[in-house]
């Protein structure tokens, strides 16, 4: 009998990092505190939950329009204008997706020909290389270096070539928590313009910034027409299970992405779209409060890890902090450390090596990512448990 799976499934298998499932299973088996996957342990605003519940009760339970409900498309356009001064036509320049995850996949499928190259910064969020593979495209990785997670401009320049189709930029960045500076964004934009390359930006942590400011690439000169801006409501409002995302771009680009989205999921869940639309209309101070609360959690975790001897790369944004474990666990690789941690200390974390090219087994070998989007007593409990790590 021939192979039961397809060429694509086999090609995708190396990207299906089972580490998240393994770690969640280990957390369940050992009763460990789970600082692995990035989801909060408390829900977002009750008022948004009520909008979703009311939407279900009021009968918003059939297919929403393929491009998204008019309420959410208008709310996204209004949000981009109010926060960033970007003008979008909600009819043609906003597409609602099933989370940012579907947006990333649909963008790759819609824009890349087999063999096209996609420039991305490494460590990379885990869906990027897999989505490139689905489209037959090839990642060109530009390494970010700790402690500041900066890239060498010459590395970025060298990643652009005749086959470059797209730059996929994630800022604020998972797993490092880096917010790309204006100067770095200008370098990316200059290369996009010089090589006539499109950009897709993953901005799901746009409202979870503690230090510095988030600047969408689309606001830089000449970039609005060549940038597809992706975001979602999951992180902003602490409802990661709702999976409502969007893509904003010039009408022809949105039309191309919509063609791919139509045959992936056709449309996104109607009640949650209405709730996220409501959320985007919350006063800016409310959104800033979410970041302030999260910054306090970042400080609890980062200060605690530093006190335990870890080298901490304090993030400027997101849900995650990265540490070098070498001072605490000399000679141990991040995977070994993370597999031992649940049983030895009752804590789960993610080895950052999973965010690097598997062809480079030494990349990120002593880096570990910890999620701090948890209640403060949970973080303090985890830190107490970690104190028992010993030789
Ligand atoms: C960088 C990044 N992009 C996209 C996503 C997924 O977003 P969504 O849940 O909206 O699909 C995540 C979730 O962890 C993420 O960290």
Q: Tell me the three state secondary structure of residue 324.
A: strand
Beta-strand pair 198-202/244-248: unpaired
pLDDT value at position 17? 64
pLDDT value at position 391? 60
Q: Please tell me the least confidently modeled range out of 10-19, 56-65, 367-376.
A: 10-19
Name the one residue in this structure whose structure tokens are 């800022």.
171
Judge if the beta carbon of residue 245 lies within 6 A of ligand 1. yes
> How far is residue 382's CA from residue 66's CA, in Å, rounded to a whole number?
44
Tell me if 180 sits within 8 A of 209, measured CB to CB. Answer: no
Tell me if 33 sits within 8 A of 347, measured CB to CB. Answer: yes
Mean pLDDT of 309-324: 98
Mean pLDDT over each residue of the chain, to the nearest integer? 95
pLDDT band at 25 (very low <50, low <70, confident <90, very high): confident
pLDDT band at 37 (very low <50, low <70, confident <90, very high): confident
| pLDDT tens digits, 134-173 | 999 999 999 999 999 999 999 999 999 999 999 999 999 9
Judge if the beta carbon of residue 234 lies within 6 A of ligand 1. yes
Q: Please tell me the least confidently modeled range out of 15-24, 140-149, 251-260, 320-329.
A: 15-24
Name the one residue in this structure whose structure tokens are 């975790």.
301
Judge if the beta carbon of residue 178 lies within 6 A of ligand 1. no
Judge if the beta carbon of residue 175 lies within 6 A of ligand 1. no
pLDDT value at position 390? 72
> How far is residue 372's CA from residue 205's CA, in Å, rounded to a whole number?
14
Distance 327 CA to ligand 1 centre (A): 31
- Enter the tokens of residue 337: 């450390």
β-sheet bridge partners, residue 247? 95, 230
Judge if the beta carbon of residue 238 lies within 6 A of ligand 1. no
Computed from CA positions of residues 181, 187, 190, 192, in that sequence, does the dihedral angle turn out positive or negative? negative
Which of 174, 175, 208, 261 has most ligand 1 atoms within 8 Å of its beta carbon, as the pocket-test mutant? Answer: 174
3-state DSSP helix/strand/coil % of the chain, to nearest 5: 45, 15, 40
Residue 199 makes CB contacts below 8 A (sequence gap 6+) with 166, 167, 168, 169, 188, 189, 192, 217, 223, 226, 227, 228
By CB atoms closer than 10 A (0-12, 13-18, 19+), residue 21 is exposed
pLDDT band at 281 (very low <50, low <70, confident <90, very high): very high
Tell me if 139 sits within 8 A of 265, measured CB to CB. Answer: no
> How far is residue 230's CA from residue 332's CA, in Å, rounded to a whole number?
37
pLDDT value at position 1? 63
pLDDT band at 7 (very low <50, low <70, confident <90, very high): confident
pLDDT band at 11 (very low <50, low <70, confident <90, very high): confident
Report the percentage of the chain scoring pLDDT > 90: 90
| pLDDT tens digits, 339-358 | 999 999 999 999 999 999 98
DSSP per residue over 22-44, as a string?
A: HHHHHHHHHT-EE-SS---SS-S
DSSP per residue over 66-84, as a string?
A: TT--HHHHHHHHHHHHHHH
Mean pLDDT of 242-271: 97
Report the percentage of the chain scoring pLDDT > 70: 99
> How far is residue 385's CA from residue 377's CA, in Å, rounded to a whole number?
12
Quote the distance between the C-alpha of residue 347 and its chain's center.
Answer: 23
Distance 330 CA to ligand 1 centre (A): 32
pLDDT band at 189 (very low <50, low <70, confident <90, very high): very high
Measure Cα distances from 98 to 71, 163, 262, 280 in Å: 16, 29, 11, 17
pLDDT value at position 157? 98
Tell me if 257 sits within 8 A of 227, measured CB to CB. Answer: no
Give φ, ψ of 260 to 5 degrees.
Answer: -70, -45
pLDDT band at 255 (very low <50, low <70, confident <90, very high): very high
> How far is residue 301's CA from residue 386's CA, in Å, rounded to a whole number?
11
- Enter the tokens of residue 280: 């985007």
Judge if the beta carbon of residue 97 lies within 6 A of ligand 1. no
Judge if the beta carbon of residue 38 lies within 6 A of ligand 1. yes
Quote the distance between the C-alpha of residue 204 and its chain's center.
Answer: 6
User: How many other C-beta atoms can be found within 10 angstroms of the C-beta atom of residue 138?
Assistant: 17
């Amino acid at each position: 009998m021939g192979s039961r799976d397809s060429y694509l499934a086999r090609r995708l298998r190396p990207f299906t990092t089972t580490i998240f499932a393994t770690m969640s299973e280990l957390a369940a088996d050992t009763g460990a505190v789970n600082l692995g996957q990035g989801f909060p342990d408390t829900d977002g605003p009750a008022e948004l939950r009520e909008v979703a519940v009311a939407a279900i009760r009021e009968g918003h339970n059939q297919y929403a329009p393929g491009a998204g409900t008019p309420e959410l498309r208008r709310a996204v356009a209004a949000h981009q204008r109010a926060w960033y001064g970007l003008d979008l036509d909600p009819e043609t320049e906003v597409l609602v997706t099933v989370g940012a995850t579907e947006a990333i996949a649909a963008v790759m499928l819609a824009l890349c020909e087999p063999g096209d190259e996609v420039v991305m910064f490494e460590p990379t969020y885990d869906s990027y290389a897999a989505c490139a593979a689905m489209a037959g495209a090839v990642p060109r990785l530009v390494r970010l270096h700790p402690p500041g997670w900066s890239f060498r401009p010459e590395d970025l320049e060298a990643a652009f070539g005749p086959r470059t189709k797209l730059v996929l930029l994630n800022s604020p960045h998972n797993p490092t928590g880096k917010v790309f500076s204006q100067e770095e964004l200008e370098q990316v934009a200059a290369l996009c313009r010089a090589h006539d390359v499109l950009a897709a930006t993953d901005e799901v942590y746009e409202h979870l910034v503690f230090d510095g400011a988030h600047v969408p690439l689309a606001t830089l000169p000449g970039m609005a027409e060549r940038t597809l801006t992706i975001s979602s409501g999951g992180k902003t409002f602490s409802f990661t299970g709702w999976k409502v995302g969007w893509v904003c771009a010039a009408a022809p680009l949105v039309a191309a992405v919509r063609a791919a989205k139509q045959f992936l999921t056709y449309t996104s869940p109607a009640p949650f779209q209405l709730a996220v639309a409501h959320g985007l209309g919350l006063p800016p101070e409310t959104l800033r409060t979410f970041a302030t609360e999260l910054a306090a959690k970042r400080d609890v975790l980062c200060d605690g890890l530093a006190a335990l001897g870890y080298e901490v790369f304090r993030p400027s944004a997101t849900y995650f902090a990265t540490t070098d474990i070498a001072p605490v666990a000399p000679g141990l690789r991040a995977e070994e450390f993370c597999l031992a941690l649940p049983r030895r200390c009752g804590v789960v974390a993610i080895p950052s090596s999973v965010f690097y090219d598997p062809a480079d087994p030494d990349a990120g070998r002593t880096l570990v990512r910890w999620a701090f989007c948890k209640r403060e007593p949970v973080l303090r409990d985890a830190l107490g448990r970690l104190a028992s790590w010993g030789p």
